Chain A
Amino acid sequence: MPVDRRKAAVFGGALALRLLLLLLFPSLPDLLTGRVEVSTPVTSFKRLQEGLFLYNRNASPYDGGVFHQAPLLLPIFSLLPNAQEYPFPTALFYSLVDLLNASALVTISDSAQAVSGRLYSSVRKQIKWDGVVVAAWFLFNPFTIATCLGRSTAVFTTTGILYALSAAVQGQNLNSMLALGFASYLSIYPALLFIPLVLLCYDRRAQRSNITPSTALFVVKHFAVFLLSIAGLLGISLLIIGDLFALISATYGFQLLVPDLTPNIGLWWYFFIEIFDSFRDFFLGVFWLHLTAYAGSLTVRLRRQPLFVVTSLLGIFAVFKPYPSISDASLYFALLPLYRHIFPLMRYTFFSVSALLYASLLGPAFYHLWIYAGSGNANFFYAITLVWSLGLSLVIADTIFAALRDEWEQENPDQRGRPVKQV
């Protein structure tokens, strides 16, 4: 098998860049680890270290209420040398995980599911980037690099999701469900991707074997696999922790009930600081339902492009999750280049890109003004997170619009290129 030289160059370059950054700025990882944009209470590497310390001393890692991540990470990380004394192995490990993610992206891109699936094939399918370019967009995205150097454990969720997708487009349905189960086990929200993902699997199966299996049976079977994979992972975790209730309440309970209102780039923290206590439960429900509601309706609307539904949902999660970080945005931006063909149909590209740039440059500055300089207040930072969310939701809305327009043009070939007036 000939070595793909472009791919090797991109992957090698990405690895070299990460290690070079570590070599040139040895304090960079610790700086990034402390940033609220990179580390959230559920993905922070610092908190992982705390859990690891307790775990290695045979105490429950959830004692002390600092660590809220999945327990399976602990044995993995206890194999690595202490990140404080030897930062290199950990950085190498994270960089390799990034490369793995990138290779999954290459697989997804090469399958061309983004442009033509079972039910739908875009009229613009010739406009597309190949897998190496998509991987390069992911690997050289500053958000990805910051997440990698900041050693956020969200990258493992990213791996789970990307591998679920890559397995699905290759027709390995079982692997896909297992990978999604792994991602959901790490942080609950990927479970919402189940519906579009299972439809993607179904489409691939139907495409290959020409016999369409019963939809309901297919979904139920895969759902069972998905549940079993989560149950299995929980079972292994139980061997590590022992106390199921403590495990669930410290990890999933924490992610669902959002007790830690440390500022992050999302919309929840400020809202729940301000809300009256008696309405807290109600609005927790509202916010989670808001997140859930998109999964079903987007799948119905974009039934013919399940991969695009997954992409858009990931974008929506990056905005409306309880503890979002730039790693979620980087996952969304990793999948967007698959849709190069709809870029010409987008209308607010300039505005949304500037909003995102504006927010990512001013965000750290405003945070500094609020926390360190003391010359601003919480509203400064919250305002900038609003701009960030606005930019992201503009991109999401715009791509959905473009995808729908693309669908419409495929149905009505004679109307191609006509201006659309919004009513």
Chain B
Amino acid sequence: MSANHEDSESSQTAMTSKPSASSLPPPEKPNAIQTRFGVVAAFWAVILFLGFPIWWKTTSIYRAELPIQEMLDWAGGKSCRPVFPLEIRFDTPSLPDLEAQQLLRITQHTLDDLNEFSAHHLRLKLADEEAQQATEKADTALTVRLLAQDDLSSPRSLLDADTTTLDVFYPPSQIPPPSSSISPLSSYIAGELQRLFAEEKAIMAHILSNNAMGANVNTPQSPNSQAQQQISPQLAESITRRLRRSMKYAETYHLAFSLFTPGSAPSSWDIESAVQAYISPLVQVLSPISNFTIDTQVQLYASFSPTTPPPEYDETQQVWTLKEENLSAFINAAEWPLNPSIGSGPTINFILYVPAPSQSPLLVNEGKATSWIIPQWGGVFILNPPSIPTSESTKGNPPHLPANALTPAFLTFSHQLLSLLGTPQTPTSLPLRLQTLIRIRAATLLLSASSTMGSLARLTESLPSIPIPATVASSVSATLSHLSSACDSLRQGRFMAALASARVAETEAERSFFEKSMVGQMYFPDEHKVAVYLPLLGPIGVPLVLGLVKEIRRVVVGWKARRG
């Protein structure tokens, strides 16, 4: 492409300077020199007045200003110390005010002595005291109702399974005298409370200790090890296992209920009523944490994959058994249409398997179980329906599974769903466990959004050549503001609000980190620019630069000659 230019330049030199040595050509005329100067000037004018602005405009990288230090502070845990002050209300209908306050003070004292993990602590309040300060109301984690009962020798407690109420029955004699600083009743209550929240505390400690932010928070006051010490190794072990089993947090989960059977029956099930009865209420209460969609399907003639070891017949108990070690091969992933994902977000699969009549009843070898969880994937339930005689000798499955036949399966499924979402197993009250789940989620989201911010900050610092679009900057500022509001909510004990803010922060953080236009240039180091510019611009540039140099030299020589 520069051939033409080069040629015109060189032919011009050929004619205007010295073409042959034998006889000198006539000297260059001044207007020829002027013309050459004009040509060079014309090329360079285009380069200077059009080329450079275009180069500047098209290759400059837009980098929006990011609050790098603030982002790093969040990731390092300097901006926020996640604390979980759980508010516990004392309902003391039978006690006079003064005594109740005394009891409260002592119990609080005992609790504080017991608690070594400062980030997670219990704050006791009297019910009527609560009513006075209506502003800045924190979520009440638990209500303790103190009820006097005469025929008791020692206090007794009862946790209501459906509400967040702990009833404590005590013999009236154990009310602490106003002057004492210790009483058996307050120790008892403190112990009970400690026990109720032991698992949650362990999970929190686990989450915080696995993260730079949490670790930083804990070191100055109560070192991690101390918090961990409180937790028995078995509990820590089971928490780790459970966390590994549960799904990664997502904004939306898809629940897929599938009925698989190797034959032609059952071909229908009362799925709608079963979902209505067992799953919808759960989804309802989980709605602050995530969104859920529900899909169902029925698959007939679903066979095991050929590599799966078939169930064995146990003569002694007259049942078919699956070996526990073979359960991982139970799902025929190649043939069963279990969508890996419906839309965005992970799918949680629940499989109801009805074995063929010839293999019924089918149980899992150890312990005669009929269901199991597949970590981070879903759950399976084997339903052995009562077989009905179809003809003289063969047994057949019922063609329809009524709602009552599905009850055990869906109870199991709802339990599996809670486990898969990472709900703790204690205490027995479901509302309490859900509250715990909210706090856990708020903490994990807060930590993960913060660490995403840190990664983004480090990324933009280490790669000065990646562009940062304005959308990223706005996402980052949204993340930071939601993070701090989540942190404030946590400090005030308003965990629902904290979770809502943390969810927004997490979404925004992910959006800013995975911005598409940034990724494109991440793998494009500066050295490669030579390879981009040189092949084309080199050949074009050399004659242009040489022409310019020649012209400048001519001008300088002429100038010197005139002076000298």
Contact = CB atoms under 8 A, between A and B. Distances in A.
A318 to B, nearest CB: 12
Nearest to B34: A300
A422 B14 contact: yes
Contacts of B532: 275-276, 279
Contact of A277 (B4, B11, B12, B520): B520
A126 B220 CA distance: 102
Contact of A292 (B7, B8, B46, B467): B46
Contacts of A401: 7-8, 11
A267 B55 CA distance: 21
Contacts of A299: 42
Given A316-B4, A397-B3, A421-B20, A300 B38 contact: yes
B19 interface: yes
A235 interface: no
Given A285-B55, A296-B46, A397-B7, A420 B19 contact: yes
Contacts of A290: 1, 540
A420 B14 contact: yes
Nearest to B41: A300
A408 B54 contact: no
B12 A293 contact: no
A303 B55 contact: no
Interface residues of A, number: 47
B556 interface: no
B1 A278 contact: no
A294 B8 CA distance: 11
Interface string B289-309: 000000000000000000000
A338 B46 CA distance: 30
Contacts of A172: none
Contacts of B1: 267, 290, 319-320, 389, 393
Nearest to A407: B15
Contacts of B210: none
Nearest to B3: A393
Contacts of B38: 297, 300-301
Interface in A388-405: 389-390, 393-394, 396-397, 400-401, 404-405
A421 B14 contact: yes
A422 B537 contact: no
Interface string A272-293: 0001111101111110011011
B16 to A, nearest CB: 8
Interface centre among B1, B20, B25 (most CB of A within 10 A): B1
Interface centre among A301, A320, A418 (most CB of B within 10 A): A301
A185 B137 CA distance: 71
Q: How large is the interface on B (under 10, 10 to 19, 20 to 34, 35 or more residues)?
A: 35 or more
B24 to A, nearest CB: 11
B35 interface: yes
A422 B57 CA distance: 40
B45 A296 contact: yes
Interface in B1-50: 1, 3-5, 7-8, 10-15, 17-20, 25-26, 29, 35, 38-39, 41-43, 45-47, 50
B284 interface: no
A211 interface: no
A412 B27 CA distance: 11
A289 B20 CA distance: 36
A130 interface: no
Contacts of B47: 289, 293
Nearest to A400: B8
A394 B536 CA distance: 19
B276 to A, nearest CB: 48
B218 to A, nearest CB: 44
Contact of A404 (B12, B29, B51): B12
Interface in B447-468: 467
Interface string A206-235: 000000000000000000000000000000
Contacts of B29: 411
A148 to B, nearest CB: 29
A415 interface: yes
A373 interface: no
B59 interface: yes
A3 interface: no
B400 to A, nearest CB: 52
Contact of B42 (A278, A296, A397): A296
A423 interface: yes
Contact of B10 (A390, A396, A419, A423): A423
A419 B521 CA distance: 55
Contacts of B524: 276, 278
A283 B10 CA distance: 27
A61 to B, nearest CB: 31
A405 B15 contact: yes
Contacts of A393: 1, 3-4
A285 B7 contact: no
B58 interface: yes
Nearest to A398: B7
A281 B10 CA distance: 32
B39 A279 contact: no
A412 B55 CA distance: 44
Given A289-B46, A289-B51, A289-B54, A396 B15 contact: no
A408 B29 CA distance: 11
B55 A293 contact: no
A422 B10 contact: yes
B58 A408 contact: no
Contact of A415 (B17, B26, B57, B58): B26
Nearest to B465: A278
B535 to A, nearest CB: 10
Contact of B54 (A285, A390, A418, A420): A285
A319 B29 CA distance: 34
A422 B11 contact: yes
B54 A282 contact: yes
Given A290-B1, A415-B25, A301 B537 contact: no
Interface in B68-101: none
Contact of A423 (B4, B18, B59, B536): B18
Given A286-B537, A297-B43, A423-B14, 19 more contacts: A284-B58, A285-B58, A289-B46, A289-B50, A289-B51, A294-B5, A298-B8, A300-B38, A300-B39, A300-B42, A301-B38, A301-B39, A397-B7, A400-B7, A401-B8, A405-B11, A418-B20, A422-B11, A423-B18
8 contacts: A277-B520, A279-B58, A281-B57, A293-B46, A294-B5, A405-B15, A415-B25, A415-B26
List the 5 shortest-distance A-B pairs measured between CB atoms, nearest first. Answer: A285-B54, A281-B58, A397-B7, A296-B42, A300-B38
